């Protein structure tokens, strides 16, 4: 959710570029977790968690790019980057638990 207001201030020419990619990656994380929850069994859930973690990695890079392009303020970058890293950590722990009992 935090990505949406930050990307709203991006230049108009980034509306369908980096801003759109960042929003898509950010929304893909919980979407894949939700879809995995609706599947049958831990193996399928784990697969969707891996996809979600990939989206988080994608967002992590996009945040860095937006900062380097001066589209993000440093404090917004730091906050969003820390949140993204924390989500990746949580997904990693969840994946370890889902795959430990196989």
Residues 6+ apart with CB under 8 A from 50: 95
Residue 9's φ and ψ, nearest 5 degrees, are: -90, 0
Query: What's this model's pTM, rounded to 2 decimal places?
Result: 0.92
SS3 category, 93: helix
Confidence check: pLDDT of 35 > 70 = yes
The torsion of the CA quartet 85, 32, 8, 60, rounded to 10 degrees, works out to 30
Span 48-72, pLDDT tens digits: 999 999 999 999 999 999 999 999 9
Task: Find, among 38, 77, 30, the residue nearest to 56 by Cα.
Answer: 30
């Amino acid at each position: 959710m935090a990505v949406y207001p930050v990307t709203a201030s991006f230049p108009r020419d980034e509306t369908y570029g980096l801003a759109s990619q960042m929003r898509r990656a950010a929304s893909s994380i919980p979407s894949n977790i939700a879809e995995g929850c609706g599947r049958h069994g831990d193996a399928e859930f784990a697969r969707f968690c891996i996809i979600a973690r990939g989206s988080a990695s994608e967002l992590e890079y996009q945040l860095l790019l937006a900062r380097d392009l001066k589209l993000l303020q440093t404090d917004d970058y730091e906050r969003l980057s820390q949140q993204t890293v924390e989500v990746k950590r949580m997904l990693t722990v969840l994946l370890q638990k889902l795959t430990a009992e196989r």
